[in-house]
Amino acid sequence: MKVIIDTNFLLIPGTLGVDIFSKIREMNPSNKLYIIDKSIDELEKIKKEQKKFKKAADLAIQLIDNQKINIIKTEKVKNVDEIIVEKAAEGYVVATQDKILKKTLEDKKIPVILLKQKKYLVIEKNVL
């Protein structure tokens, strides 16, 4: 599976201490992990503007590098969620905790990975 990780999902290791990268790979060792380039911009903005999540955003940026996450380059000036929905339609699964994005993906029958009970991941296929 090709998995796009949303910005809010990238904050989980720093806020809840859950190794999302290992858990996604545990679901299927051949999973390939991706982020949208604009997610890095969002993390940088979080570092500057949200003291509460500064350390989590900093850790997320480090982990993107350490985990060798593939970065999807975009030219569009759309917001990250719109880009994720467009890319996901090309055959990606999306890891997110964002309720609005999750609903949009469900409506389009795109599978979503969620964190449940702050400790394990589940995939909601939504494609039936």
pLDDT of residue 12: 96
pLDDT of residue 68: 87
Residue 83 backbone phi and psi in degrees, to 5: -65, -40
Which of 6, 2, 1 shows the shortest CA–CA distance to 96? 6
Domain span holding position 113: 2-124
How many folded domains does the chain comprise?
A: 1
- Tens digit of each residue's pLDDT (9 = 90 or more) over 35-51: 999 999 999 999 999 99
Residue 5 pLDDT exceeds 90: yes
pLDDT of residue 126: 62
* Claim: this prediction has a pTM higher than 0.85: yes
Query: What CATH number is attached to the domain comprising 66?
Result: 3.40.50.1010
Task: Determine what percent of the chain is predicted with pLDDT higher than 70.
Answer: 98
Q: Is 22 left (phi over 0), alpha (psi -120 to 50) or beta?
A: alpha
Place of tokens 């296929």: 125
Confidence of residue 22 (pLDDT cuts 50, 70, 90): very high
Torsion sign, CA atoms 120, 121, 126, 128: negative
pLDDT of residue 128: 42
